[in-house]
Structure 1
């Protein structure tokens, strides 16, 4: 091989390395821009979701009788005992057991779809751990969507309900509206995750917006709010006098 040919080969090799480096830089930049675009789209989607929720301004009468409690376990201590209760969204039954222990309900109705494989394990866990309550006809399991199961109960059937489902604005508002006719005149509607969303997974909730709209439109007031340090608060409502 001549010296000139060798030099040309070296120059070609260097050029190819240079091109490869430039292509890698371009690829990284495009990936970075693509990642930024994905983040921007997700942020826009979350903002659109929040913007689609109706904002309601409450009056003093909706809040003036409300008491703050340290946690939702204390909330259970304040709820009526020997009552007919529904827990809407029961998952693995941890809070169901708290209701049974703290409130000694006459009947506790668990309403949940237990649809995913993860939550199907939850249903099995409930049936195993609370088998005695089921056998005593004190605990009743209703598998299905909350908005389909709740309407099957008679009007005024429950003394109080506790809602903890998917936390979306639409579902929560529908559940509240159904429960309006399913709890007694002196009954309560309570629930979990009265907050703006899950900050870890960046999931916006619509519970605050749904609850405040419901109170304004259907003449309910806050009786209790919890203030846990983790920020996932619970609420309890009762009808305005």
Structure 2
């Protein structure tokens, strides 16, 4: 398959490197990623200035690679419209440094890049890995992504589906399996630490902790139990539960 690989951690991120090494063993890969860190940028795109695209050489990677001074969604759009000739069979976004569980998907640049692919009717996968300090699980996450790509291809995954994958930071033998599940509820207890600069302007630094609701059959719950989670997503935000009720207003 021809795969577009992107991320939100930047073109030189170790997670992207590890995934590229694994993917190009089996597929034709083109890499297009932000020139710098773009975490939590959501689904933003650049419209107020031109985008700068540079060819780069990633040491030990055979695939073509481009850095783009925009967002993950910009990278997908630019690749589809200008950089890659012919059909792209799948877009893979990651490996993100840190998980994208529950409502994290709203803010995630990693997931948004995958969703942008689905806007272009290209199947996509977002891959994220838990980390602590210098420890990560990129090796397992990369091999899991390749395995799931093969499954998705064999089962004719729809072109409007995004598969959101999260890998816990546990040894391979301690991973309990893979759970397909819905997204859970993950919010943050934000603390705004106030200070002032030399000119007296207020500065607010956001700090805080995760506040998970441990609902059953969700990615948040299964992830904490040691499972790799996979959740099918779709960009249609329509609330079908109440659409008929809203129609009655008019």
Q: Which has the higher strand share?
A: 2
Q: Which has the higher helix share?
A: 1
TM-score tier, shorter chain, comes to: 0.3 to 0.5
The higher-RCO structure (CA 8 Å, 6+ apart) is 1
Structure with larger Rg = 1
